[in-house]
Amino acid sequence: MTPVRLGAVAYLNARPLVHDLERRRDRFALQFDPPSVCATLLHEGAIDVGMIPSIECLRGPEYRIVPGVALASRGAVASVALYTRRPLAEVRSVAADTSSRTSVALLRVLCTRRFGIAPAFEAQPPDPDAMLARCDAALIIGDAALFLDHEAAGLQKIDLGEAWTAMTGMPFVWAFWAGRPGAVSQGDVEALQAARDSGVAATDAIANDYARGDARRADIGRRYLRTNMRYGLDDETQAGLEEYLRLASAMGLAPGPGALRFY
């Protein structure tokens, strides 16, 4: 059996979804990349299934989603945020992390519908100092946002997950496993769901291992995986996903949404 080529997100938040998968080389060939790269590799056919930013499902309308598995949050997510030294109402330009696609579209939705601002966006690598030297605010995702001590840096942190839930009352879906029809078998789907369950049961150990002896990062990571992240895709979470895709499409940030398709 040829292993399924899996493209996973390289951040801490994704580690519970790939728990033990590296030991399943008979079934999966696993690689790690930033979210935007996962999407590009899937679009190009370089991987079979990718942990893609949620908005990317609209750019491949034939994609199927692995049911019941997602990177999601309800309220503060901690690892996707806008950082600024200015009052939010005075932000006129945003440096947007090039690793992100879903978060950039989400911020555009929030700027229009919640924050009441219309900043210019400029794609930049996730370097807070360089980003804030060029723009009024910086959108940063993943580990770079999670482990940034914004108070020590004199920055205000606007958590996009918190802002979304405050606006809609819904969870937010950041990413999920997706691929083309026939890319995975039912056994593969069950193995990905089992990996999620195993990882959710081992979040403290995952965070400790990921921190590599850094006590501060381990403490932040444990609290983050326990408190901020969700890994299921239930009816409420799917409704939040559908609302986000609807709003993003209405603003012209992605093609119009059709019905979500699952394996």
- Both 68 and 190 in one domain: the answer is yes
Does residue 107 sit within a domain? yes
* pLDDT given for residue 98 in this prediction: 87
Q: How many CB atoms lie within 10 A of CB 134?
A: 11
- Both 68 and 88 in one domain: the answer is no
Does residue 23 sit within a domain? yes
Cβ atoms of 80 and 161 closer than 8 Å: yes
Q: Mean pLDDT in runs of 10 for the chain (263 residues)?
A: 92 94 90 91 95 89 93 98 97 93 96 97 93 96 95 96 98 97 96 97 97 97 98 97 96 86 95
- Both 140 and 207 in one domain: the answer is no
Tell me how far apart the alpha carbons of residues 105 and 243 are, in angstroms, rounded to a whole number.
13
- Both 227 and 157 in one domain: the answer is no
* pLDDT given for residue 42 in this prediction: 95
Q: Which of 151, 168, 185 is the last residue of a domain?
A: 168
- Both 139 and 59 in one domain: the answer is no
Q: Beta strand pairing status for 64-65 and 172-179? A: antiparallel
The domain total for the chain is: 2
- Both 92 and 118 in one domain: the answer is yes
Tell me how many degrees the CA angle 242-247-252 measures, rounded to the nearest 5: 125
- Both 67 and 86 in one domain: the answer is no
- What are 113's two structure tokens? 């519908």
Tell me how far apart the alpha carbons of residues 109 and 87 are, in angstroms, rounded to a whole number.
19
Does residue 255 sit within a domain? no
Does residue 26 sit within a domain? yes
Does residue 162 sit within a domain? yes
Q: Which of 168, 196, 223 is the last residue of a domain?
A: 168
User: Greatest CA span in the chain, whole angstroms?
Assistant: 57
pTM exceeding the 0.75 threshold for the entire prediction: yes
Cβ atoms of 229 and 73 closer than 8 Å: yes
- Both 15 and 138 in one domain: the answer is no
Nearest to 142 by CA among 167, 175, 179, 112: 175
Query: CATH code at 64?
Result: 3.40.190.10
Tell me how far apart the alpha carbons of residues 71 and 66 are, in angstroms, rounded to a whole number.
12
Nearest to 33 by CA among 108, 101, 132, 127: 101
- Both 160 and 233 in one domain: the answer is no
Residue given tokens 């969870």 in the structure block: 171
- Both 189 and 65 in one domain: the answer is yes
* pLDDT given for residue 74 in this prediction: 98
- Both 9 and 125 in one domain: the answer is no
Q: Which of 115, 135, 168 is the last residue of a domain?
A: 168
- Both 150 and 219 in one domain: the answer is no
Residue 217's domain spans which residues?
Answer: 4-72+171-250
Residue given tokens 């804030």 in the structure block: 132
- What are 114's two structure tokens? 């919640």
- What are 128's two structure tokens? 């807070």
Does residue 84 sit within a domain? yes
